[in-house]
Amino acid sequence: MTRLPAWADYGLIPVLNLGLAFAVAALVIAALGEDPAAALEVLVAGAFVYEGALGYTLFYTASFIFTGLAVAVAFQARLFNIGAEGQAMLGGLGAAGLCLAFDAVLPALLMIPLAIAGAAAAGAAWGAVPGWLQARRGSHIVITTIMFNFLASGLVVGLLSGPLMRPGQSNAETRALAESARIAQWHEIAPLLGLEAGRSPLNLSILLAVAACIGVWWLIWRTRWGYALRCLGLAAPAAEYAGIPVARITVQAMAVSGALAGLMAVNTVLGAQGKLLINFTAGFGFTGIAVALMGRGHPFGVALAALLFGALYQGGAEFDFEFATITREMVLLVQGLIVLFTGALSQMLVPLVARALGRA
């Protein structure tokens, strides 16, 4: 095993892998007959410069922080949580379900914390069950979480086209939630502070996302539980021998992971859309895998990676307007390449870099 200094391992290698992903994407763009440099320019302008663009970018960033942290926490225990998508869906059901039941009677000060707790609890439950099945019944977490994604999707479709459907409507969505269940958006708050802000779905959930980053960091690196979690990830037999309750930690890790994924619904359902829509998760649970890999499983890395993906999503949307042949799906391609190079092929460049640094 080649060893690299920490700065190369955590700084250089991810940047090089990211560069490879972008280089391949640029080749694809060039092969399609467009100019990669122009595409990058559009991407950056679309993500940061245009009015309201930054708001959208940060809105997506908040969602990706939640799903990225979800995957990262589970991965600290070497658990592949492919199910963030389904857990986020359940989070939406939990939040929206409580809001539909109580938003007429509860004031915002009670309703919003309750809805946030509901999102976290529902997501946690949807994560804990596969965790329990792995810990106690020996089922493989990857297969179970994939299946749970489909079960969640069936549940959401079934409920939204039945009991939760807006009365008198044929669209599969809930009624609009009351004002008391909505999280304030930045463009509503900014004028109160004397600032200008373009319209965007950016809302106060991003503060929750930042708090989640700090919370996860503290949980994993500053608590006994986090120590047990990392032990389990590094060497499960050693953890078992040291008396760490492996099964319990597994279930708890998946519950925390699911809760974080569920919180994504706070940003999208309570913060942006104000109702539960079908497909509101939009594949962000899967993007969370890329975010966690890119961020090397560390909360601060996850936050940076989430910002990168937020910018890609928002900037990539501009492709539709600026180019004839490339569209926002280009971002999906970049995302796939990032998962490939920073995840599956993360070790490819290590020997090369080691040789360049004279350490082979």
Partner 1 sequence: MGWLDLLLTADSALRLATPLMLCAMAGMISERAGVIDIGLEGKMLAGAFTAAAAAALTGSAWAGLGAAMAVGAAMAALHGFACITHRGEQIISGVAINILASGLTVVVGIALFDQGGQSPPLGPEARFRPIVLPGVETLSGVPVLGPLWRELVSGHTLPTYLALAVVVGAWWMLGHTRFGLRLRAVGETPAAVDSAGLSVPGLRYRAVLIAGLLCGVAGAFLSTAHGAGFVREMSAGKGYIALAALVFGKWRPWPVLFACLLFGFLEAGAARLEGEVLPVIGRVPTQVILVLPYLATVLLLAGFFGRAVPPRALGTPYSKER
Cα dihedral angle (318, 319, 323, 326), rounded to 10 degrees? -170
- Check binding of 326 to partner 1 (CB under 8 A): yes
Region of 204 (left: φ > 0; alpha: ψ -120 to 50; beta: rest) is alpha
CA 116 – CA 114 distance, rounded (Å): 5
Applying CB under 8 A, which of residues 286, 301, 303, 309 lies at the interface with partner 1? 286
* Residue 337 binding partner 1, by CB under 8 A: yes
Secondary structure class of 277 (helix, strand, coil): strand
* 36 contacts partner 1 (rule: CB under 8 A): no
| Site residues (CB under 8 A) for partner 1, limited to 228-267 | none
- Does 279 sit near partner 1 (CB under 8 A)? no
Q: How far is the CB of 34 from partner 1 (least distance, A)?
A: 9
For the purposes of burial, counting CB atoms within 10 Å of the CB of 102, is it exposed (0-12), middle (13-18) or buried (19 or more)? Answer: middle
Q: Is 32 in the site for partner 1 (CB under 8 A)?
A: yes
Q: Which stretch binds partner 1 (CB under 8 A): 44-52, 225-233, 268-276, 285-293?
A: 285-293
- Segment contacting partner 1 by CB under 8 A, of 182-190, 194-202, 297-305, 331-339: 331-339
**How many residues in the chain?**
360
| C-alpha dihedral (206, 212, 217, 218), degrees to nearest 10 | 130
Looking at the Cβ atoms of 248 and 346, the one nearer to partner 1 is 346
Binding-residue pattern over the window 136 to 175 for partner 1, x denoting contact by CB under 8 A: -xxxx-xxx-xxx-xx--xx-xx--x--------------
Residue 325 binds to partner 1 (criterion: CB under 8 A): yes
346 near partner 1, rule: CB under 8 A: yes
Helix, strand and coil percent figures for the chain, each rounded to 5: 75, 0, 25
Q: How many residues bind partner 1 (CB under 8 A)?
A: 48
Options 109-117, 177-185, 229-237, 282-290: segment touching partner 1 (CB under 8 A):
282-290
In the complex with partner 1, the residue whose CB is nearer, 155 or 219, is 155
Residue 4 interacts with partner 1 (CB under 8 A): yes or no: no
Question: Beta-carbon neighbour count of residue 225 at 10 Å?
Answer: 16
d(CA 223, CA 218): 7
- Is the Cβ of residue 108 or residue 151 nearer to partner 1 in the bound state? 151
Alpha carbon distance 216, 226 (integer Å): 9
Structure tokens at 143: 């297969």
The DSSP code sequence of 183-216 is PPBHHHHGGGGT--------BTHHHHHHHHHHHH
**What's the closest the beta carbon of residue 130 comes to partner 1, in angstroms?**
8
d(CA 70, CA 133): 18
The answer to whether 105 contacts partner 1 (rule: CB under 8 A) is no
Question: According to the binding rule CB under 8 A, does residue 345 interact with partner 1?
Answer: yes
- Which residues of the chain form contacts with partner 1 (CB under 8 A)? 28, 32-33, 80, 82, 133, 137-140, 142-144, 146-148, 150-151, 154-155, 157-158, 161, 286, 289-290, 293, 324-327, 329-337, 339-340, 343-348
